[in-house]
Amino acid sequence: MTSTASVLVTGASGFLGGHLTQTLVQQGLTPRIFIRPNSRRATLPLDKVEVIEGDLRDADALKKAVSGVSLVYHCAATMKGSKAEFFESNVQGTQQLLAAAQSAGVQRFMHVSSVAVYGPGQKTIIREEEGYDPFPQQRGYYTWTKIESDRLSLQFAKEQNFPVTVLRPGIIYGPGTKPFFARLHYNLKGKAHIVIGQPNALLPLVFVKSVVAALLLAGEKPLSPFSVYNVVDGAIRQGDLLERQAEAMQKRVRPVYLPPRFVGIGAMALETVYRLLRRGSPALSRYRVQRACQSLAHDTTKARKELGWRPEISLPEGLQQTWQWWTQHRAASPTV
């Protein structure tokens, strides 16, 4: 294959991968992007990238994708599907991509993980050395497979002495996706926002361009073979976030906060029904509700010191940009 691409972006048709691809192109690079045959490509600069079509479940396509590149930004991850689809794409797919990258002589592999991998712990500020959630199977297939792919990426790095950097972003927001209101919430036709959780629960938010900046910095620096970084702009109280959103939207938002234990009772009933029918675990479990409503703040000292990373934008400005994008594009973007 004749190619000028030195970097590969998986998941380039997605929110984060799309922003990363645009930034690499703006820097004058011609990245190679790995997207599925049916992936949306309307916003991708197709004349300035090299496209390899394939699926994370296709080992041959992954080998083709990594051939000749020195840096892999692995942003792809399945967000919906059956248990098999989640495990085949997010866990086995990551394993196969790592093996293909190592065989192809890739010099650094950036794995996009999530702060969702951490356990409940007692700490108010979570550092990278905090352990994984001990009950991943109770967190839903997405988080479960993000935990397993984070774990296996670091294990592969250590066993194979292969340079892997794991970035753990918080909740990513920004132009290109729906405005974020709360982890668990329902909008009653714009009249009221039912929020499950407390107004003082802290949410770890990160602007999409802050994550792109961390990826680019980590791709440039000589780092230890297996480095892990939290990437969070800051923690904001859920109640304050709703107020900021209302300001950005110039609308009144009336939140109604439901204590998590109310929803926990419903989840418990669901768990009982599933147990009686021997159907495994329901998507909504008490543990999942408890974790989703937890107040979380993450320490980013490591990314600041070792990468020289800083948040790209203030929260009010980020929310404003997101809302502007959303009002202009929501009609044209049925999938977001």
Ligand X SMILES: NC(=O)c1ccc[n+]([C@@H]2O[C@H](COP(=O)([O-])OP(=O)(O)OC[C@H]3O[C@@H](n4cnc5c(N)ncnc54)[C@H](OP(=O)(O)O)[C@@H]3O)[C@@H](O)[C@H]2O)c1
Which residues 52-71 are close enough to bind ligand X by CB under 6 A? 55-57
Nearest C-alpha neighbor of 326 from the set 215, 158, 139, 174? 174
Q: Which is nearer to ligand X, 163 or 170 (CB)?
A: 170
Round to whole Å and give the CA distance between 256 and 198.
10
Q: Which is nearer to ligand X, 34 or 286 (CB)?
A: 34
Q: Which is nearer to ligand X, 163 or 176 (CB)?
A: 176
Question: By CB under 6 A, is residue 21 in contact with ligand X?
Answer: no
Give me the least distance between CB of 23 and ligand X, in Å please.
14
Q: Which is nearer to ligand X, 178 or 275 (CB)?
A: 178
Round to whole Å and give the CA distance between 68 and 5.
8
CA distances from 239 to 45, 189, 195, 202, 313 (A): 38, 20, 10, 9, 20
Tell me which stretch binds ligand X (CB under 6 A): 9-17, 25-33, 270-278, 308-316: 9-17
Q: Which is nearer to ligand X, 235 or 268 (CB)?
A: 235
Which residues 151-210 are close enough to bind ligand X by CB under 6 A? 169, 171-172
In angstroms, how far is CA 122 from the centroid of its own chain? 24
Q: Which is nearer to ligand X, 102 or 153 (CB)?
A: 153
Sign of CA dihedral 191, 194, 199, 203: negative
Give me the least distance between CB of 239 and ligand X, in Å please.
20
Measure the CA angle with vertex 215, ends 58 and 112; round to 5°: 45
Question: By CB under 6 A, is residue 16 in contact with ligand X?
Answer: yes
Which residues 247-276 are close enough to bind ligand X by CB under 6 A? none
Q: In this structure, are residues 257 and 195 in contact, taking their beta carbons and an 8 Å threshold?
A: yes
Question: By CB under 6 A, is residue 15 in contact with ligand X?
Answer: yes
Question: Three-state SS across 75-110?
Answer: CCCCCCCCHHHHHHHHHHHHHHHHHHHHHCCCCEEE
Tell me which stretch binds ligand X (CB under 6 A): 13-21, 181-189, 191-199, 317-325: 13-21
Residue among 20, 77, 101, 117 that touches ligand X (CB under 6 A):
77
Terminal-to-terminal C-alpha distance of the chain: 35
Give me the least distance between CB of 132 and ligand X, in Å please.
15
Exposed/middle/buried for 290, CB within 10 Å: 0-12, 13-18, 19+? middle
Residue among 108, 139, 146, 291 that touches ligand X (CB under 6 A):
146
Nearest C-alpha neighbor of 34 from the set 17, 16, 15? 17
Residue among 51, 79, 269, 283 that touches ligand X (CB under 6 A):
79
Tell me which stretch binds ligand X (CB under 6 A): 10-18, 24-32, 212-220, 324-332: 10-18
Enumerate residues 6+ apart whose C-beta is below 8 A from 107: 70, 71, 163
Residue among 21, 22, 67, 78 that touches ligand X (CB under 6 A):
78
Residue among 22, 39, 245, 285 that touches ligand X (CB under 6 A):
39
Round to whole Å and give the CA distance between 97 and 103.
10
Round to whole Å and give the CA distance between 21 and 195.
34
Using CB under 6 A, count the residues that bind ligand X.
Answer: 24
Question: By CB under 6 A, is residue 22 in contact with ligand X?
Answer: no
Q: Which residues are at the interface with ligand X (CB under 6 A)?
A: 11, 13-17, 36, 39-40, 55-57, 75-79, 89, 112, 114, 146, 169, 171-172
